[in-house]
Structures are given as structure tokens and as C-alpha cells.
Amino acid sequence: MKSTAIFLFLVFMTASLTSTLAVSADKTEAPKPPIAKVVPKDVTVHGDTRIDNYFWLRDKQNPEVAAYLNAENSYADAVMNGTAALQESLYKELLGHIKQTDVQVPYREGGYWYYSRTEEGKQYPIYCRKAGSLEAPEQITVDVNELAKGEKFMAVGAMHVSDDAHLLAYSTDNTGFRQYKLHVKDLRTGALVEDVAEKVGSAAWAADNKTLFYTVEDSAKRHYRLYRHVLGSGKSDDLIYEEKDERFNVGVQRTRSRKYILLEIGSHTTSEMRFLPADRPAGEFQLINPRRQEHEYYVDDHGDQFLIRTNDKGRNFRLVTAPISDPGEKNWKELVPHRPAVMLSNIDVFQDFYVRVERENALPHLTIVDFKTGATHRIDFPEPVYSAFPNNNREYDTKLYRYSYQSMVTPNSVFDYDVEKRTSKLLKQVEVPGYDPAKYKSERLWATARDGTRIPISIVYREDFQTNGAHPMFLTGYGSYGISIPVTFNSNMLPLLDRGFAYAVAHIRGGGDMGKSWHDAGKMFHKKNTFSDFIDSAEYLVANKYTSKESLVVQGGSAGGLLMGAVTNMRPDLFRIVIAKVPFVDVVNTMLDASLPLTVGEYEEWGNPNKPDEYKYIRSYSPYDNLEKKAYPTILVKTSFNDSQVMYHEPAKYVARLRTLKTDSNPLVLKTNMAAGHGGASGRYDYLKEIAFDYAFVLSQMGMEKPAAVQAGK
């Protein structure tokens, strides 16, 4: 009875909230948006009083919240009324550029070849392996389609095979809240052996094929504990480590040599590492070097030494060695010095060589180093603007290094690089049906920010594109956490490119595209550089006639959604359409609530508003708190009800408040996926339908509903 009552209440609330959505018989009358109820809440901090009328939307269990979100969804559907055919056409275009039945490049690990494949009509990948050779019979290890039966969402997190290849540890999330359950499957029988734990993050096998280490999260989704589980023991799992400092998360992993299990403890600015021989799982983890504020270091092993990437002598990291028997800082010996112009992002260590993953001049590089001779060389790449990433390299004793290469015009390509012959062998390039790379061009542009800093911009367009200001543009950016936005191929952009759009990425400060100094220049008290860099990049593109203000569409997600909210407040006249996905827009309120996921750990990225000066700075740009009574561009805001990274209530509150302030008649649409998380729909077909919705919104608002062939003048 109780559930029935709640259901009827939801129906009633949805009906009452959506009553304003009804369109009269006069087809010209625009749909009217729902109006969220006002419940004033006094939020006074450091003498600054803010009245938050929509704080109530944080109560996820309140049926009125879901009713309001459903009303907004109904309004979104009303705005999109008449675009069903366009959405279906776009979906077919997107789908037409994907090889639906496909196989990923197999990689070797422990006597098996592992790979994943997809089948036409199925939403999720199928994970498989073959023993000894690729001609052997296929064994399915995990079919995510089977796991997803009866579920609205399904994601697989960790996947690790025991040393004897008999057991698979894997984790699943069936809500989108990124709350994973750890399972162990016997690959010999296909039977599920044990469900090990809930709320699991990382996991690693010991060498005995029965001991499994894993981390778990607390109520704020901080991974704070490491446990040891022994299969079949019947004993409670041993708590090995608990991190008390709320800024720090813990993670566990196995080194490529398989000799050691590493416990990584890190905040946004500081790290600490501990290690345990994998063949002694009952032993104690040993500390490598005690944590020191602002000191980050990361390790891998080679022989009797650790290779340690450390920022102790400079923000872009250097590489040192240390004996495993006594790896403390006093015994560190420099192998590669700190270089102000080169970011040492990572290292991959093998028996005879190691690879430095580096960034220089906003481009990635892979540098091979021979352990015996010290000889060093970089892998050559054919295009001036590209991305290159380490791929699946599970074997320690090898002469081959696998990497992925792509650009805005070259689809993702997997290569094996022979470190002795210095040659790359193409194993597979993603097949993109209906795509001819000769019809598209990409380049690297440099905008000048208002303080004189040069901002790299990556751009792609059709070969018939002209810099005459007449073309529409889709511009995106991120600019947070030191994350570099890679220059990648995206077949999902083809429907827009084929309609005359250019697609561009502004590599703004706050990201890591130009090294750690680039990150430092766009965080904490320098965060506003991120926003002004994006605005200056957009103005550069308009001034140089790559587009016009009237044709500029901008998009960002998560912290990039914060970017969208901030720049829209600052320069609403500069953009025709703004798409903000899972946007972090209620910065002050979220950062004041230590119970929310990520909050305390991110004091070192955004600042701690419990401190007056940091509060004042965050308050000055927080999008929700800086909305004003003025004209805004057309805005589409997207979120998910089960998002654990940026809670649904941030975009919901943002839209509710903006509706009361905007003086224009441009559409403001909130679309909520009620059964997904931070990344949206989990199924690949459902995900494409979400993109088709976004594109249909853009094209219909810009009066560009015609087929691509017509608009491109084919």
C-alpha cells in the first residue's frame, strides 16, 4: 500500500507540475516550462548571506524531486516536438559510422590471448580469451549483455585474472552511481565462486591464486580502506590499511613484473606508496617514502630497483632509481632530470627497456629507453596534431611495445612497436563505414589570452570549409584537474562536420596539455584563467572567421560543465547555444558539504570555502550563485539521477533559478536520465540516441534540419 500511495503521489505531482506544459490547439503557442516551487533557505557563510530557493531539490528521496525532474523531461520533449524524424535520421547516421560487429585487438597475458568484441544488436561488449593461440577455441569470460538483463544500467569496472588464469575478479555497477560489487568467477567452470565485497574500487591478486586485495569506499565515496580476502577461508577479510585523512584516496595494483603489489595513497597534490611482495600476501606492506605535502611520487619495479617518478625537484617530474631493499628518498639517484618544457606523465617498465610517456608543446610523445645502453629515441608520428597512448602491454619480457595512435582525421589505430628494429606495425585501425579521411582536415591553432598566454586549439572540418564566418562551430573545453584533452578521432562528430560545422577543442589552462604549470595556472586562486582562456579562444575563432557568434555552439561536461556555466554568465552574447552536461555549477554549496562525494579531496583543486578568502574567490565565479537578470543564449542542460560525481541537484537547481532570471525567450531545457550515472546511458545504442537528441536540439534551434548531403552541398 505504501508503494502504491507513493506512485499515485508521483503521478499527481507530475500532473500538477506538467499542467503548464499543455499546448493549446493553436500550434504557434510555445510550450511552457515547469516552475519549481520556492522554499527559501538562508545560507550564511563568513557574513555573506545567500538565499537558496531550491535547496530542497537535494532531497533525492522526496517524491516531489523526481516529479519535478519528470516535468522538466516532459517540457524537453515538448520543446523537441517535431524533431522525432530528425533524431531518428541522426541516430541512423551515427550508427552508420560504426561497425557494429567488431573485435578489438587481442593482447597476450599469462599464456592466453584476451580481447573484447561486439555483436550487432547488442548493447554491451563480450569479453573473451583463447588459450595459447588465436586459432584456439573462444572462451567467453564475461558477457556484459547477460549481466545487463533486467537492468536499466550496467557497467563493468575492475577485471583481473589470477596468475594461474583460473579465476577472474571483476566488479559491476547496475545503477550508474559508480558503486561496484566485486565478484570472483571460476573460468574453468563458469560458476560464480564468491561475491567478495560491496562498494569496491581497485583490486589485485596475490601470486598464490587465492588472495585478493581490494579497496572500498566510505559514505562520501572516498576509497579509504584496503582489505585482504582469502577465497574459501570462511574468515572475515583482514583490514590492512585505513586512511584517516579525508583528502586522500587509496588504490591497489600489481606491477607488470608481477613481483609486487602496490598500495597507492594520494590526494590531488601529495602521494605515498607502499609495497608487498606478491608471493608473500600475508606479509606487511612496506613504506617507500613518507608523504610530504605537495610531493607526489609513483613507482614501478625493475630487477632490484624501483623506478620512481617524482616532482620533488620540479612540477613536471623527474625520474630516479632506488634500491628495493631501502627505497627511501636518501637513496634516490637521478635517471632523468626535471625539464621545464617536458611533462613526464608516466613510465611503462619492461625487462629490457622502459617507455617515458611525455608531453611537450601540447603534444604527447613516447620515448623508448634501453636499460643496458641507455640509448633513447622517440616513436615518430606522421601528423602535426595527434594523440598517442600506451595500449595493452601486459607482458613484462617482450621486445614489442603496443600503443594507440589517432588524430581528428585518423581513426584509432593500434600498433606494435619493435624497440630493436624501431618499426611500427599496424595491427588494426577502427573501421568507420562511410568515412573518407581525404575529405577532412585538421590543424593546430594558437589563440592569445588576455594576459599574453598562447592557448592551443585543435580543430577539424571538411575540406570545403572556408574561413568566411559563415560556418557553424562546435567548440568544447574542460580545463581542470591537470587533465589533458586528447586530440582524438570521433565518428560521432561526422553528422555535424557533414553539415558544415567545424569541431574544435580549446586546450585551456587548468588542464594538463602544457604540463603541470598549465594546471597550476587554472586552479585555486587562478581558476578564472580557465574561463577567460575559453572566452578568448572563442573570440579568436570568431575574429579569424572560423565561425560567428550567431553560429557558435559550445559544450562541456562535469568540470567542463562548470566552464559552460561560468563563461555563459560572463559572456552570454558570445554563444548561440550552450550544452552543459552533468555540470558542476553549484560550486559553493557543494564544496561546503563534506558529506558529498569528492568534496574534501577537492579542496586542493578548487579551494576550501570554510576559509574566508577561498570562499570569496569561489563565490565570485560559482555559476549558480552568479546568475543574473539578463538575456542568456539557448541552453541545454543534461544530467543523470544516479550521478555520483556531480549530483543531479546541481543542474536541476541551476535551471530552476535561471528560469526566474533570464529575460530572453531562448529555450532553456533540462533533460535528466532517470536510470544512469555520470557518463549517461551505459548501452552503446542508448548512448547514440542521447547524442542524436543533442544534435537534433542544436540543428532544430539553428534551422538546420535538412539532411547532411543537402547542407554540405554534395
DSSP string, 40-70: --EEEETTEEEE-TTGGGG-TT-HHHHHHHH
pLDDT, greater one: 370 or 196? 370
556-580 as b/e, with b when 16 or more CB fall inside 10 Å?
bbbbbbbbbbbbbbbbbebbbbbbb
At 16 the pLDDT is 35
Average pLDDT over residues 327-347: 98
C-alpha distance from residue 373 to each of 347, 351, 368, 370, 402 (Å): 18, 13, 12, 6, 22
Is residue 324 within 8 Å of residue 349, measured between CB atoms?
no
pLDDT tens digit string along 49-104? 999 999 999 999 999 999 999 999 999 999 999 999 999 999 999 999 999 999 99
pLDDT in tens, 439-481: 999 999 999 999 999 999 999 999 999 999 999 999 999 999 9
Read off the pLDDT band of 12 (50, 70, 90).
very low
When pLDDT is averaged across residues 229-256 and rounded to a whole number, the result is: 96
pLDDT band with cut points at 50, 70 and 90 for residue 194: confident
* Matching residue, cell 499546448: 23
Predicted pLDDT of residue 519? 98
Which helix (DSSP H) or strand (DSSP E) does residue 250 occupy?
Answer: strand 249-254
- Are the C-beta atoms of 635 and 669 separated by less than 8 Å? yes
β-sheet with 305-310: strand ranges across: 297-302, 305-310, 318-323, 333-336
How many CA atoms, within 13 angstroms, populate the side-chain half-sphere of residue 602? 25
- pLDDT band for 28, please (50, 70, 90 cuts): low
Q: Which of 210, 207, 216 is nearest to 171 (CA)?
A: 216
For 280-321, write each residue's pLDDT tens digit: 999 999 999 999 999 999 999 999 999 999 999 999 999 999
Residue 711 has pLDDT above 60, yes or no: no
- pLDDT confidence bin for 29, thresholds 50/70/90: confident
Q: Cα(423)–Cα(608) distance, rounded to whole angstroms? A: 50
β-pairing verdict for 552-557 and 473-477: parallel
Query: Residue 709's pLDDT is what?
Result: 56
Cα–Cα distance, 392 to 406 (Å, whole number):
16
**For residue 219, pLDDT beyond 80:** yes
Computed on alpha carbons and rounded to an integer, the radius of gyration of the chain in Å comes to 26
Name, in order, each residue with C-beta under 8 angstroms of 303's C-beta and a sequence gap of 6 or more.
none
Q: Do 414 and 428 contact (CB within 8 A), yes or no? A: yes
The grid cell for 30 is: 510555445
**pLDDT for 52:** 97
Instruction: Tell me what percent of the residues of the chain surpass a pLDDT of 70.
Output: 95
Q: What is the pLDDT of residue 377?
A: 98
* CA 360/CA 512 separation, integer angstroms: 11
Amino acid at site 588: V
* Three-point CA angle 284, 325, 330, nearest 5°: 110
Higher pLDDT, 452 or 194: 452
- Digit-coded pLDDT (tens) for 496-553: 999 999 999 999 999 999 999 999 999 999 999 999 999 999 999 999 999 999 999 9
pLDDT computed for residue 697 by the predictor: 98
CA angle 82, 708, 554 (to 5 degrees): 75
Contact 376, 339 (CB under 8 A): no
Say if residues 534 and 558 touch (Cβ distance below 8 Å).
no
Residues in the chain: 714
How far apart CA 198 and CA 175 sit, in angstroms, is 13
- Band (14; pLDDT cuts 50, 70, 90): very low
Q: Is the pLDDT of residue 699 over 70?
A: yes
At residue 187, the 3 state secondary structure works out as coil
Interatomic CA distance for residues 474 and 497, integer angstroms: 9
Quick one: pLDDT at residue 4?
32
Tell me what pLDDT residue 10 has: 33
**Which band of pLDDT confidence, cut at 50, 70 and 90, is reported for residue 9?**
very low
**For the segment 107-129, what is each residue's pLDDT rounded down to a tens digit?**
999 999 999 999 999 999 999 99
What confidence category does residue 406 fall into, taking pLDDT thresholds of 50, 70 and 90?
very high
Number of CB atoms found within 10 A of residue 39's CB: 11
Average pLDDT over residues 570-593: 98
SS3 category, 540: helix
User: What's the grid cell of residue 149?
Assistant: 538483463
The residues carrying an active-site annotation are 558, 643, 678
Residue 603 three-state SS:
helix
d(CA 105, CA 119) in angstroms, rounded, equals 15
At residue 537, the pLDDT reads 98
More confident residue, 5 or 650: 650
Q: Is the pLDDT of residue 13 over 70?
A: no
Rounded Cα distance, 350 and 397, in Å: 6
Split at pLDDT 50, 70, 90, the class of 488 is very high
Average pLDDT, the chain: 94
Q: In the predicted model, what is the mean pLDDT of residues 190-201?
A: 93
CA dist., res. 518 & res. 341, Å (int): 11
Asked if residue 11 has pLDDT above 50, the reply is no
Could you give the CA distance from residue 591 to residue 610 in angstroms, rounded to a whole number? Answer: 9
Task: Name which of 227, 237, 220 is nearest 179 in CA terms.
Answer: 220
Bridge-based pairing of strands 634-640 and 668-673 is parallel
For position 439, what pLDDT does the model report? 98
pLDDT of residue 15: 33
